[in-house]
Amino acid sequence: MTDDKRTLRSAMLAWRSSLSPDERRSAAAALCAVWRHEQPFALPATVSGFWPIKDEIDIRPLMIELVNAGCQLALPVVQGRGLPLVFRAWRPGDGLEAGVFGTLQPHARREVVEPDALIVPLLACDREGWRLGFGGGFYDRTLAGLRRRRSVTAVGVGFDAQYVDEVPHGPDDQRLDWLLTDQRACAFV
């Protein structure tokens, strides 16, 4: 399974890096249009987004729409290897500081919040809601912990070509509740 994940991860990273800036801008705008048509959770809510890195789809326009809909936003913070993420409150325009793995995160003085919904980056997602990420397990650990305490909605976001037939998965992997791409919205039951 590890080799299958590694192969799929490499293929998706290569594909994503081949996209032009115009294709990326178009996809970010289309993602917002799909969101407006099919909202996977009730608004307003406390929502964790992410600051895009490594050719990820740009969800910053979507985060602005969420703020305009009355949502409280947060961004993830990596606490350390093997630990779940924490989420610090953030609004567009707030300063960010460098995190690990090239991420940007809210300043340490920002309030820690627990989201009702998480917008989750991905490299691939399949028809059953299994997600492939960068391999650190941060979102899987975080979702497992949150789901033990309360109901949360995990919404994977990506380019439509990242929706694949099958993602290898193991016992520690967490399924998504929804997938939003620049061309579709899928609910997983």
Q: What is the pLDDT of residues 41-79, one digit of tens each?
A: 999 999 999 999 989 999 999 999 999 999 999 999 999
Up-side HSE of residue 183: CA atoms within 13 Å toward CB? 6
CATH among 3.40.50.10420, 3.20.20.60, 3.40.50.300, 3.90.1570.10 for 2-187: 3.40.50.10420
The pLDDT of residue 100 is 86
Q: Are 148 and 125 in contact (CB under 8 A)?
A: no
pLDDT of residue 98: 93
Per-residue pLDDT in tens (0 to 9) along the chain, 189 residues: 789 999 999 999 999 999 999 999 999 999 999 999 999 999 999 999 999 998 999 999 999 999 999 999 999 999 988 999 999 999 999 999 998 888 899 999 999 999 999 999 999 999 999 999 988 899 999 999 999 999 999 999 999 999 999 999 999 999 999 999 999 999 997
Nearest to 73 by CA among 37, 48, 107: 48
Global confidence as pTM: 0.95
Nearest to 140 by CA among 76, 59, 71: 76
Cis peptide preceding 40, ω within 30 of 0: no
Cα end-to-end distance, the chain, whole Å: 24
- CA gap 137, 163 in Å, rounded: 20
The radius of gyration of the chain from alpha carbons, rounded to an integer in Å, stands at: 15
How many C-beta atoms lie closer than 10 Å to residue 116's C-beta? 20
Listed by start position, the domains of the chain span 2-187
Q: What is the pLDDT of residue 167?
A: 97
pLDDT at 18: 97
pLDDT of residue 179: 98
Residues 6+ apart with CB under 8 A from 133: 120, 121, 122, 123, 139, 140
For residue 101, what pLDDT is reported? 82
Nearest in space to 178 (alpha carbons), one of 160, 161, 154: 154
